[in-house]
Chains A and B, each alone.
Chain A
Amino acid sequence: MSATLSASADGPATRLAFAGVLDAAGTARLWPEAMRAVRGARHLVLDLAGLTALDTAGAVLLLRLERAVRETRWQGMPAGPVQAVLDRTRQALANPPPPAPPPLPPLAWLGRATLRQGGDLLDQIGFLGEAALAGLDTLRRPWRLRFAETLRHLDEAGLRAFGLTLLLGVLIGVILAFQSSIPMRRFGAEVFIPNLVGISLLRELGPLMAAVILAGRTGSAYAAELGTMTVNEEIDALRIMGIDPIAWLVLPRLLAGMLVMPVLALLMDLSGLAGMAVVMSSLGFPPVGVVNQLRNAVKLRDLLGGLLKAAVFGLSIALVGCRAGLTAGRGPRAVGDAATAAVVGGIVSIVLLDGVFSVLFFRLGW
């Protein structure tokens, strides 16, 4: 029998009589009516004589009614399970959670955020130092580097990214050539499209786009893999075994990131130029003319400068990804957060480094 409720006046008090099975479904149905009935009441009589069964939701309703008024009198309490459920729920609700701490005043909030960011920056510098020391140690004792692990990462970060890099490279070359052909046609300067696309690809877009691919594919994978190892206490296990996780796990990834990026950037450059050549051909320029134009416009230093940038980008992305993984918190959410931090941090770091390189190359006259 589903629960029923009848409300009546009992002298100065409000009488609520429950009957039937007061389970979650009955409670959900009777909750608004019961709350309405006790609104403004000071004295309450809870008559449970007709109650045949009670679950936690029902007990919560009765205790909530008791709390809503100044004085409650219980009547007709059935012995046995109903009483037991009510007592147990009352006892369970006796220790409410501590109230949330009040929000910090703005100045204290700013101070705490500054301290946290400062601490994070120090950690980053510390991680960079640890990686540099581990790298120097490996230079002195190269046989300690895990070559098989490094090869695995070269394969995963490099070879398996070739298809995507080729596809994006061709598309970027095609898009750049088409987009630039529209304004250049107005000046009859379409012949200079290879100059524009060649220089922008080799110096800037090739390394940058390859780095974005590496950050999205590999930086996040490093963070997720190392983050999972952190959550599973594998990193702690390594430390306890006297093995430096930086040398064991981070160095192979840094080396792979640094070595694979120039290759990806070169692939991006070449596929972009091929895409541009296709567009030029469709505009009526023979391949020989495009190649000659490129040879006149593009210098070896443009290519080498781009490849140098790519290597530094690769190192930076791997560093950011590994650090995000090694500093992951606990739980499955931490791994997702680490992967996000790796991608965001990786892209921000390559844009910052690109700015540094731009100033450097300008000063050097490259």
Chain B
Amino acid sequence: MTEPVIRVENLAARFSGRTIFEHVSFEVRRGEVFVILGGSGCGKSTLLKHMIGLYAPAEGGTTILGQRVEGLAGAARTALLRRLGVMWQSGALFGSLTLAENISVPLEEHTDLPPEARALVAQAKLGLVGLGDAAGRLPAEISGGMAKRAGIARAMALDPPILFLDEPSAGLDPITSAGLDALIRQLARDLGTTFVVVTHELQSILAIGDRCIMLDKEARGMIAEGDPRRLREESTNPVVRAFFRREVLA
């Protein structure tokens, strides 16, 4: 078993006195694909934003690569953020830059690579997600699925050891979605990249997930943790069973 690279301890999120989740604790190990799953509105994306330090938790905290995220500032925070890649739900591409320029932004800011190398790395990243022929296009000129893939390419620009993906395959066609799942597995295997994936796409969860946690809106916290395939077969929790078997909850 590899060592943990992310440790979430007793995390709680509250907004305007309303509790989204609490008592959330888990570990993510190096090189694994860890899935945060659950129904709509249960706080999956909120948990991800707490983990990367965008939101301050009401209780508890997150440790990434041995550093406590909360309270980290200045150069130490920048150094940690360089080692993380985040793909946002909408892609969050910069509208005034082409796809290649979008991917060059972190390369320009965080490396001393010459312009030719930056352009080639950007082209390679786009090629990796199947957008090699769209490097010169603006985000407004591509579809939502393409924007998502370009968002993944940008998240991977610096080859970070940890990648956070927020709903990577939502809205993609089954072939593209399967290709993306294969890419995630390949990067985890070849480079030892650790993935934290927020999703509720059942097929993706079963295809890529080494381990997962499940959040529930009613329980306001975690209701399951483990191998998604085993959870599907063995869980006795009615919400978990309904989720994996696509059943209507009584």
Contact = CB atoms under 8 A, between A and B. Distances in A.
A331 B138 contact: yes
B191 A81 contact: yes
Contacts of A334: 140
Contacts of B100: 97
Contact of A98 (B116, B133, B138): B133
B128 A88 contact: yes
Interface in A1-48: 23-25, 27-29, 31-32
A100 B140 CA distance: 18
A88 B134 contact: no
Nearest to A89: B124
Interface string B92-125: 0001100010000001001111101100110111
A59 B128 CA distance: 13
A333 interface: yes
Interface string A107-120: 00000000000000
Question: What secondary structure prevails in chain B residues at the interface with A?
Answer: helix
A59 B191 contact: no
B191 A85 contact: yes
Interface in A133-157: none
B52 interface: no
Given A81-B191, A97-B135, A57 B123 contact: no
Given A97-B134, A330-B140, A331-B138, A28 B128 contact: no
A92 interface: yes
Nearest to B157: A56
Residue from A23, A29, A31, A56 whose CB has the most chain B CB atoms within 10 Å = A56
Contact of A331 (B112, B139, B191): B139
A52 to B, nearest CB: 13
B127 interface: yes
B39 interface: no
Contacts of A259: none
Contacts of A29: 112
Contacts of B158: 24
Interface in A94-129: 94-98, 100
Interface residues of B, number: 35
Nearest to B116: A64
B132 A57 contact: no
B95 A88 contact: no
Given A95-B133, A97-B132, A55 B190 contact: no
Contacts of B179: none
Residue from B96, B120, B132, B140 whose CB has the most chain A CB atoms within 10 Å = B120
Given A88-B128, A96-B132, A64 B117 contact: yes
A93 interface: yes
Contacts of B140: 329-331, 333-334
B138 A28 contact: no
B186 interface: yes
Contacts of A61: 117
Task: Name the interface size band of chain A.
Answer: 35 or more
Interface in A248-262: none
B117 A60 contact: yes
B132 A95 contact: yes
A237 interface: no
Contacts of B112: 25, 28-29
B11 to A, nearest CB: 31
Contact of A95 (B121, B127, B138): B127
B116 A56 contact: no
Contacts of A27: 113, 117
B190 A85 contact: yes
B125 A28 contact: no
B159 A24 contact: yes
A91 interface: yes
B120 A93 contact: yes
A332 interface: yes
Contacts of B107: 24, 57
Interface of A: 23-25, 27-29, 31-32, 55-57, 59-61, 63-64, 81, 84-85, 88-89, 91-98, 100, 329-334
27 contacts: A23-B159, A24-B107, A25-B111, A25-B112, A27-B113, A27-B117, A28-B114, A28-B117, A56-B125, A56-B156, A56-B159, A57-B159, A60-B117, A61-B117, A81-B190, A81-B192, A84-B190, A84-B191, A88-B128, A88-B186, A89-B124, A93-B123, A94-B127, A94-B132, A331-B140, A332-B95, A333-B95
Given A85-B190, A93-B120, 7 more contacts: A25-B111, A56-B156, A57-B159, A85-B191, A92-B128, A93-B124, A100-B136
A-B residue pairs, 10 tightest by C-beta: A92-B127, A331-B140, A28-B112, A95-B132, A84-B190, A55-B159, A97-B135, A330-B140, A331-B95, A60-B120
